[in-house]
Amino acid sequence: MGIIQVNNIRLFTNHGCLEEEAKIGSEYKVDLEVKADLTKSAQSDVLVDTVDYVHLNNIVKEEMAIRSKLLEHVAKRILDRIFEELSLVEQAEVKVAKINPPIGGNVEEVVIILKDTRKN
């Protein structure tokens, strides 16, 4: 089993329960880790034999562009698409962080972490 990480994907979008968040938007950071059998691609040196991290990045960008009230809802959509579209992925973890959340204090970020395993 191998691990592919795509870290610190930075986005500006408008998630949150508050109306102001929908209008103003916020900065977000997403970290992604997937586990897959990378034995074949390590030998073949061919892109179709591995998990394409460009595809992973595109899934994150597309799902983060769809407004949600809760970060865990966005994270679940990201995980669902990974398992739907990338058959080599056996396990995945996504971390969605809201930078400087509007929670009445000096908080750098709030992070939601979801993990899942392929169900056969």
Q: Which candidate, 57, 54, 64, places its Cα nearest to that of 112?
A: 64
Sign of the four-CA dihedral 45, 95, 56, 119: positive
Instruction: Identify the active-site residue in 95, 98, 115, 119.
Output: 98
Crossing angle between the packed helical segments 71-85 and 53-64, to the nearest 10 degrees:
140
For residue 21, give the DSSP letter.
H
48, 77, 101, 117 from 40: Cα distances, Å:
10, 28, 42, 21
**Is there a catalytic annotation at residue 98?**
yes
Q: Provide the phi-psi class of 81: left if phi over 0, else alpha when psi is between -120 and 50, else beta.
A: alpha
Show which residues are catalytic.
98
